[in-house]
Amino acid sequence: MTFVAGLRSDLGPSGVLTGADAAPYLTGQRGLFTGEALAVVRPASVDETARVVRACASAGVAIVPQGGNTGMSGGAVPAAVGDSGTSALPATSEGSASPDPPRPSIVLSMTRMNRIVSVDPHRWTITAEAGATIETVQQAAAAANRLFAPDWGARGTATVGGAIATDAGGNNVLRYGTMRDHLLGLEAVLADGRVWDGLRALRKDSSGYDLKQLFIGAEGTLGVATRAVLRLHPATPHTQSALAAIRGLDRLMPLLELAASRCGNDVTAFELIPEVGLDRVCEKLALARPLHTREEFFLLVRLASSEPVSERLGAFLAEASERGWITDAAVAVTDEQESRLWTIRDELSPMFLWPQHEHGVKLDTAVPIDSLGPYHDEARRIAAELVPGALTYGFGHVGDGNIHLYVLPTSDDGVAPFLSVRDKLQERIDEATFRFGGTLSAEHGIGQLLRDRIGPQKPAVEWDLMRAVKNALDPQGIMNPHKTLPA
Ligand code: MLT
Ligand code: ZN
């Protein structure tokens, strides 16, 4: 019996996909990375997951864990491989085996493990399987009058396991933190097929190494998450957002401080929207513009609380206007207006707006928050110098220092000249990111996209420590090879 036939006889026909059925799992959402796999394997339980991992470990088959496949960095699809399903990375120096030896792989799709295990309002936790979507978790929490705070545009497809794997962030990080701040307990299948049950719901636990932390941001390179205990917050029935036209990026910091001093912790989102994106989304979705005023940048601010927030939102906007920091603002007063503002925000990614997006330079940078304006200016200066005709497009979670910065050609004619300088442009912006003390990956992971670029961001000793962890937990190197750790 072949390896794949063995898996099929164990998991049944719906547990193993091949051929055209497997194809959608082999390409990442931005279309940048496509790999090959022997099969897409879809376990429906922890036991099945462990059996698949054991079978792979004994056959030397690599495992690429995958959630909703909404990742932006190619971490959840197999690396591009040769004809035989193997990669051709050279061995490392000193005769040691390559940490990523060529080997066939499977995609381990966790999407059948999509149940909410329990909601515990008194413990303020929810326990979910790794393949449950973020939206399912949000809805289950809301039904118990609790809030599961992580939230971003792909909420309906992105999964708990994928969010843990990349330490996903989204729109509420300013107030509630990233996935790391929400993971209280974890169950994972280790590279040798053992199941680690760390499903605890404790707020405090100083009993040694906090092993679950290793799995956050590890992109499935250490094992595969199967269930998670996640933290809940009080529900925020009073929610209101406003879109404000801002007078230059140097107003961001004063506006954030003003919002913090007038509205405190109720500021849950503080998002940057460029005019060019606002305009394009409204045109594409035939939405009425929320504001007719045109400025280069807009700020989408959301307050959320157990108490009414309108007065404080209004006072913040009035003061910002008096000080000349904003030139206009639209406050959402109906559910339709609120949801329109957030539709515009959710659809802002260039991959939804320009067919040429895949040729562009894409960054998911975070810098110390007071450096955001100067960093953005510097990136724009570099882009104007190297690719004068290209669009520099910064948007996103500026309230926590994270900006999605894209430089892209926006016409087919612009693609060839852009590609001729793309590597140089990327290198120069990366250097600027490091100079500003930033990270190339704030919430999208390293995956395949950043693996060859991320090295200079951390001292060699830090990568050595990560490799030591990798070797300890996955000595065979079968968990998601060619990802995350620089080659
Ligand atoms: C977002 O915040 O909309 C995303 O992370 C998507 C992107 O960077 O393109
Ligand atoms: Zn984002």
- Is the Cβ–Cβ distance between 240 and 309 less than 8 Å? yes
Does residue 19 belong to any structural domain of this protein? Answer: yes
Domain boundary pick from 109, 140, 159: 109
Of the two residues 487 and 212, the one the predictor is more confident about is: 212
pLDDT tens digit sequence for 277-288:
999 999 999 999
What's the whole-number average pLDDT of the chain?
95
Region of poorest pLDDT, from 26-35, 187-196, 323-332: 26-35
Grade residue 29 by pLDDT with cuts at 50, 70 and 90: confident
- If one counts the domains in the chain, the total is 4
206 shares a domain with 275: no
Bridge partners of 381? none
pLDDT score of 416 more than 70: yes
Identify the residues whose C-beta falls under 6 Å from ligand 1: 72, 152-153, 348-349, 364, 396, 404
Q: What is the pLDDT of residues 118-164, one digit of tens each?
A: 999 999 999 999 999 999 999 999 999 999 999 999 999 999 999 99
pLDDT band at 31 (very low <50, low <70, confident <90, very high): confident
Mind listing the pLDDT tens digit for each residue in 369-396? 999 999 999 999 999 999 999 999 999 9
Tell me the C-alpha distance between 21 and 41, whole Å: 11
Residue 483 maps to a domain: no
Identify any residues that bridge with 127 across adjacent strands, giving them in sequence order.
Answer: 118, 229
> Length of the chain, please?
487
CATH classification of the domain holding 162: 3.30.465.10
Please report which confidence band the pLDDT of residue 92 belongs to, taking 50, 70 and 90 as the band edges. very low
Say what the pTM is.
0.95
In a domain, 167, yes or no: yes
Residue 447 belongs to a domain: no
Which among 72, 134, 440 is the best mutation to test ligand 1's pocket, defined by most ligand atoms within 8 Å of the CB?
72
Regarding whether 371 and 292 lie in a shared domain, the answer is: no
Q: What is the pLDDT of residue 91?
A: 32
pLDDT at 81: 57
Compute, in angstroms, the gap from residue 472 CA to the centroid of ligand 1.
33
Atom of ligand 1 nearest to the CA of 396: 2
Which residue has better confidence, 81 or 58?
58
Q: Does 153 fall in a domain?
A: yes
To the nearest 10 degrees (0 to 180), the angle between helices 46-59 and 3-11 is: 170
**Protein residue whose Cα sits closest to atom 6 of ligand 1:** 349
Does some domain include residue 186?
A: yes
Q: What is the reported pLDDT for 99?
A: 57
Indicate which atom in ligand 1 lies nearest the CA of residue 351: 9
Kindly give the distance from the C-alpha atom of residue 443 to the centroid of ligand 2, in angstroms, as a whole number.
Answer: 7
Domain finish residue from 181, 209, 234:
234
Same domain assignment for residues 140 and 192: yes
Domain span at residue 243? 238-346
CA 409 to chain centre: 24
- Rounded Cα distance between 241 and 83, Å, is 52
pLDDT band at 86 (very low <50, low <70, confident <90, very high): very low
- What residues pack around ion ligand 2 (CB closer than 5 A)? 396
